[in-house]
Amino acid sequence: MTWVGRVPFTLVFIGIMVLANLGAGTLAGELPAGALARWGLSHQTVAEGEFTRLLSATFLSHDVGMFLRQLVFAATVIGYFEWHHATLRTVTTFFAIDIVGTVIVLFAVVPLAAAVSHPEARATLDVGMSAGGFGLIGAILAGWRHSFLLLLAVLGAIAAKVAVRPDLIADSAHAICLLIGFAVQLIVAGQTRFRGRKENVP
C-alpha cells in the first residue's frame, strides 16, 4: 500500500480545508465577517439549533496565517494518527472528540465566563480544527512512554500560551480535548489488553 492509501482521510480533510477557505475568502487575507457569521460557531448559534456549524466551522480559519498553521497541524497530527491506526478510527476519534469537546466548552466554559467576566462570550464566533487536533495529540501521547509526563508538558505549553495570548474558547477547547483524547486512548488500550488476556485463557 502506498502512503496515499494509508492516509486518505488526512488528504480529504486537507482538501476540504483548502476548498472551504478558498470559497469563503480566507485566502484573500482573512475570513470575511459575513462568512464567519454564516459558518462560524458560538454558544448562541448552537443553542439555537444550528448544529451543522459544529462541522462547517472545523474546516475554516480566521486568516491566511491561521490557515497555513492549521494546514501543517492537520497534516502532521491527523496524518500521524491515521498512519498508525485505521482510517475509520481516525475519522471517528477526531470528530467525536472535536464535537464533544466543543459542546463542553460552549455550554460549560462559555456560560461561566459570560457570567463572571466575559459577557460577550455567548455570541463570540469561532472557527478551526485545533480542538479535534488536540484530541488526537492526547490519544497519541497516551500510547507513548512517559505519557503522563508528556501530557503535563503539553498542558504546561497551553498554560504558557494562555499567559501570553489568552483565547477563552480556543485555549479551553485545546485543554479539554487533549484530556478527552488521552482518556479515550487509555480506555481503548485497556480494553484491547483485557480482550487479549481473555483470548489467551485456556
Which residue segment(s) compose the domain that 91 sits in? 3-200
DSSP labels, the chain: --HHHH-HHHHHHHHHHHHHHHHHTGGGSB--HHHHHHH-B-HHHHHTT-TTHHHHGGG--SBHHHHHHHHHHHHHHHHHHHHHS-HHHHHHHHHHHHHHHHHHIIIIIHHHHHHHT-TTGGG--B--SHHHHHHHHHHHHHTSTTHHHHHHHHHHHHHHHHHHS--HHHHHHHHHHHHHHHHHHHHHHHHHHHHHHHHH--
What total number of domains does the chain contain?
1
Where does the pLDDT of residue 119 fall: very low under 50, low under 70, confident under 90, or very high at 90 and above? confident
pLDDT 10s digits, 34-71: 999 999 999 999 999 999 999 999 999 999 999 999 99
Kindly state the average pLDDT of the residues 137-163.
96
**Single pTM value for the model:** 0.91
CATH of the domain at 98: 1.20.1540.10
